[in-house]
Structure 1
């Protein structure tokens, strides 16, 4: 039975059990979660994702269409866990345990999650873009603006083989796997007949079905990082496309035990000293003079020519190139310092690479929206409640001064009334009810509220009533602003092309075809 397709290649229409999904809480705040249908958890709702916006049990996420807005649930993450642990301790002390059927019955009674009063998240499918924003950082990652441009300049397409050295956290690995994936074409016709393999013209299998499967050959020097990346590749269903190798490419190169691997069409080097690995990325063994110039690095001691390199130079038959011999190979190096770029360019020129160039990517995100300004926008979302004209500003000042005048008038009358009562107490008398009625009739102690300017509460109520008859999408001025933070890894990208070798047989074949 064939394994299920990776969610990065075919996520389907709904969130499936035991598959990776992403909870989007904000624009750049995402949480990865492998959805589980099991109830083996300290919570009755099963496995729960706890966030600052609420708790989301996996039972509320499973089988939901992608893009669904999932409401948070009421999950007591404190007392329930304590009770379950206390119950376990009490069972151990008594020497008795709760029967299995009683535990299952209790879980069935509480398995349905109760919707909370606030909090929500969006359930989105995993893609290289979303995975880059939520992956566990083990090193500095290659962000989307960088790897999208790199893959485009390397001309990576389905069916290609790409070498990645310095895998790190695996951001570029997932993007490259999606770019080279063409396994769906082969899975449609997994069996190829002998006639088709021998080039039978009457074969029912199209020629496109017989192309090689795309692959990513990822190399990582740090063993724990390589092991963790392999675990993620297996969990995400990318093991048929990505091959992770723990190796020092400076010394051991890129060739694997398989004679046909990696047969690379494109190369991406995210290494501290990429020029030290270029000696292995040639079509033929370089001369000793070239090896000496390429291996020279003032920052690190110059490595002694090993026995393997000396043997390779004297016996070219032992040299095996990791590059595809049938087409030109493109390379990109990722360096944060211009000194690294200089050494890399020098090594590329010495080894015969052409069309060498450097690029720096500085991407910014633009926020385009309508800007609505005016005092009538107070309390509305996406508006700036400030005075748009001089008349509005003057009228607002008059309202503020009018309400201040009324307030101070009330305060003055209240003080006069208190003083009058204190004076009456000093005389030993009291204010008669007749005098109070006379003051009320004459208007003393009472302020007319008809001429009082509207308060903030009144203005908000009026804006809400007028909102039904307004077309907000047409109002305001269209403006754009750049984001204050750049979500990218500032670096220099060096690109180059290594043409295919032109042999005498190729020249004779071209002469026969085009002469």
Structure 2
């Protein structure tokens, strides 16, 4: 998704994930939904400069081809029909196949040129194939994003954000960004406005005032601080965030949080703390990062107990000093400690671990560092398909219905009809054979045979008047006539079936809460407020 133009420094464009608008627009991310779980993301382009097709930029799928010219300026949710794309004119810059104006009756001057002045052929509708154009959301993006790592799916991150009590204006730390699935969901949860660039237009800028001329108090804008150890993945995620218009709400940092912590580097010597209200750790060893998520610098005894969680002690000779600082501790103990947590409110944390051994070590480290209300949850979600089941001979020939018999009475009646038709058919064949034999005998005797009544009216004359039970064709015609007066959406019984496969993976979620520090000044202030 790096083909989308990034905003200039200091310029913040509305994100389609937060405000997609009523219609699709050029240079905006859109999603083509082919099936329920088959989606294709596309940055819509109004030019054909980088396309090898005469129709401009085209999305080719198993359900047809969709030129971007048919996707632009369409209301979200529109059903877009597939188009006929001239694959023989690929590399339209070559002059092997030229189109004459007389052969292009579907071209019009207003649709022959794009923004760059190049000629573009108007797309012709195909005979079959369609897709739905939907706006990008964290849920749809999770299903179609480019996978760089194992992603956090919707059933997991929706529960995580609810348990962390994330709300607009909060600051959230995410470690182990990976493919950015949780990042997009977290931005939507904390978003309550853009900083300065767009916020000033909404009355939230630094110079905004109240009606009486007094300076308006600036609200705390939501922010996501995302950390990624893999440098290439961090750069790819940064490009996607900028292309999606979320660069003003997300700060991506390439860092090893085990050693360097979560404070953001600043131009000054003092790092900038994120003041986080919620934390999500999707790391192989989350217990190694917990020593940086405290209110104040942990004591050497606490650090030693946390280090023993990750590196169990081994027998050592008596001459070795076992009270020395473990290897997993920071090498420099003189560096001042800066807490990344919000000092004015309690902080909630969630760790995402696939193995119970990781959970055990994480819980031990949380207890050593003073975290409370520790809880572990495993999510096993399934999707249920609910629909109406219509069965019976009256449903024969209707789409989405089972034409087999629904009751014993219907089944017996159908068997009787088949037997009756067979008896009548064989009886007619026998009568016909007897007539032929009588005529042959009369001719031998030289007698003149008079034509019987009904003979010569066609082969089907006897069958039409033979009183046969209704055939399949007769039943289909009767069903079609009855369908005009039936309300089939009210018929049938509701049934539900479990989806065989769901895009998620089993993991253990560990939740905990770290209360804010309570000082003597806070105690005295509370006493004056509540003592009577």
1:180-214 C-alpha deviation (Å, 9 max, x unpaired)? 112258341254349x6xxx99545544xx12221
**Alpha-carbon RMSD:** 3.6
Q: Match for residue 6 of structure 2?
A: none
Corresponding position: 1:168 with 2:184? no
Give the 5 Å matches for 1:3-42: 3-40=12-49, 41-42=51-52
Cα distance change on mapping 1:445 and 1:321 into 2, 3 Å: closer
Q: Match for residue 83 of structure 2?
A: 73
- Could you tell which deviates more after superposition, 391-400 or 185-194? 185-194
Gaps of 5+ in 1: 89-102, 425-431
Cα distance change on mapping 1:275 and 1:410 into 2, 3 Å: farther
- Could you tell which deviates more after superposition, 118-127 or 251-260? 251-260
**d(CA) in 2 for partners of 1:8, 1:301:** 49
Q: Alignment partner of 1:387: what SS? A: coil
Q: Match for residue 250 of structure 1?
A: 258
* Equivalent pair of 2:273/2:339 in contact (CA under 8 Å): no
**d(CA) in 1 for partners of 2:216, 2:525:** 27
Cα distance change on mapping 1:217 and 1:406 into 2, 3 Å: farther
Choose from 133, 148, 169 the match for 1:159: 169
Give the 5 Å matches for 1:279-298: 279-296=291-308
**d(CA) in 2 for partners of 1:307, 1:455:** 83
**d(CA) in 1 for partners of 2:54, 2:459:** 64
**d(CA) in 1 for partners of 2:147, 2:398:** 39
Q: Match for residue 279 of structure 2?
A: 267
Q: Alignment partner of 1:318: what SS? A: coil
Cα distance change on mapping 1:140 and 1:43 into 2, 3 Å: same
Q: Alignment partner of 1:400: what SS? A: helix
Gaps of 5+ in 2: 1-9, 98-111, 315-323, 441-445
Give the Å deviation of 1:255: 1.3
Q: Alignment partner of 2:478: what SS? A: helix
Q: Match for residue 427 of structure 1?
A: none
Q: Match for residue 217 of structure 1?
A: 225
Q: Match for residue 332 of structure 2?
A: 311
* Equivalent pair of 1:263/1:324 in contact (CA under 8 Å): yes
Q: Match for residue 3 of structure 2?
A: none
* Equivalent pair of 1:439/1:445 in contact (CA under 8 Å): no
**d(CA) in 1 for partners of 2:211, 2:26:** 44
Cα distance change on mapping 1:404 and 1:222 into 2, 3 Å: farther
**d(CA) in 1 for partners of 2:84, 2:157:** 40
Give the Å deviation of 1:248: 1.4
Give the 5 Å matches for 1:56-455: 56-77=66-87, 79-81=88-90, 87=96, 111-184=121-194, 186-187=199-200, 188-193=202-207, 202-204=212-214, 206-207=216-217, 210-258=218-266, 259-296=271-308, 305=326, 309=330, 311-312=332-333, 315=334, 318-403=336-421, 441=455, 448-449=463-464, 450-455=466-471
Give the Å deviation of 1:294: 1.8
* Equivalent pair of 1:189/1:205 in contact (CA under 8 Å): no
1:401-422 C-alpha deviation (Å, 9 max, x unpaired)? 44556777899999x89xx9xx
Higher helix share: 1
Cα distance change on mapping 1:411 and 1:491 into 2, 3 Å: farther
* Equivalent pair of 1:273/1:340 in contact (CA under 8 Å): yes
* Equivalent pair of 1:142/1:172 in contact (CA under 8 Å): yes
* Equivalent pair of 2:174/2:225 in contact (CA under 8 Å): yes
**Number of aligned positions between the proteins:** 479
- Could you tell which deviates more after superposition, 26-35 or 356-365? 356-365
**d(CA) in 2 for partners of 1:376, 1:307:** 74
